Structure 1
């Protein structure tokens, strides 16, 4: 997988979050709570979904599968004027990202991230930046399908 390098402006997002770890993965629970409510977000820019992770600064250099991080289920919005009750606002800071187009099952997520962080990144000339990581789940995303497609956005500097 060869990424494209993109510089993005800040984005306004609305959704739900949960604290979890890789050992205690609550991703399915998060999306089960978000998906029935996503149509309540009246000012969404598109139908794309954002699966976003906020890790502590040394999360990957001192990796422990029980260390917690915050995971979000989000959509991009035009503004924060109409946030549904119980949902939260999130501002994604601007910055440079390596964008990987991934095709395959989410069951291979650990393998894909291992390649990106342990093989591609050290050879790339870039360093991991301390900003959110996210995946854009567009119209070709099919949960747990080998035919699924998504974009994996890794913050770099």
Structure 2
């Protein structure tokens, strides 16, 4: 499973966020609170949904454990000029840069297998280090996490080892 290497331009995101850990996972609550409002967000670029994770001190897979806090976002991309008027929504500027983009195929409950491959096999053997930017998954509006045929893009921020 070789990733596509993509240089991402800075993006403006609008959505909802929550501080959480894997041990106290609030992902379902976050998405349930976001989804009814997504259509009312003005100037959406497309119908894709973003599941973003922002880590306080950057992400180190060797130091990450179930009680490591991070901020998770449920969001959509909007045009840069958009001014968010909805008091229930927040804005995040997704920094641009190089990303390794993998495809996770299958239900969400097997997602850890994809992450294990990325961080234990691919990354150590690659010419890249993790970069301190948001990690995210991107999927279409008809994505269903329990679907055995589900596909989601997994975007991992990287930089060349010598940077």
**TM-score w.r.t. structure 2 length?**
0.91
Deviation at 1:22, TM superposition (A): 1.0
Q: How does 1:32-111 map to 2 (within 5 A)?
A: 32-55=32-55, 56-57=57-58, 59-78=60-79, 79-111=81-113
Q: 3-state SS of the aligned residue for 1:62?
A: coil
- Equivalent pair of 1:130/1:155 in contact (CA under 8 Å): yes
Distance 2:141 2:104 in 1: 14
- Equivalent pair of 1:12/1:89 in contact (CA under 8 Å): yes
Unmatched 5+ residue regions in structure 1? none
- Equivalent pair of 1:137/1:151 in contact (CA under 8 Å): yes
Root-mean-square deviation (Å)? 1.3
In structure 2, the partner of 1:24 is: 24
- Equivalent pair of 2:51/2:136 in contact (CA under 8 Å): yes
Which ranges of 4 or more aligned residues in structure 1 deviate by more than 4 Å? none
Q: 3-state SS of the aligned residue for 1:155?
A: strand
Distance 1:59 1:80 in 2: 33
Deviating more after overlay: 134-143 vs 67-76: 134-143
Q: 3-state SS of the aligned residue for 1:134?
A: strand
- Equivalent pair of 2:129/2:158 in contact (CA under 8 Å): yes
- Equivalent pair of 1:52/1:71 in contact (CA under 8 Å): yes
**TM-score w.r.t. structure 1 length?**
0.94
Distance 1:125 1:41 in 2: 39
Unmatched 5+ residue regions in structure 2? none
Count of aligned positions: 157
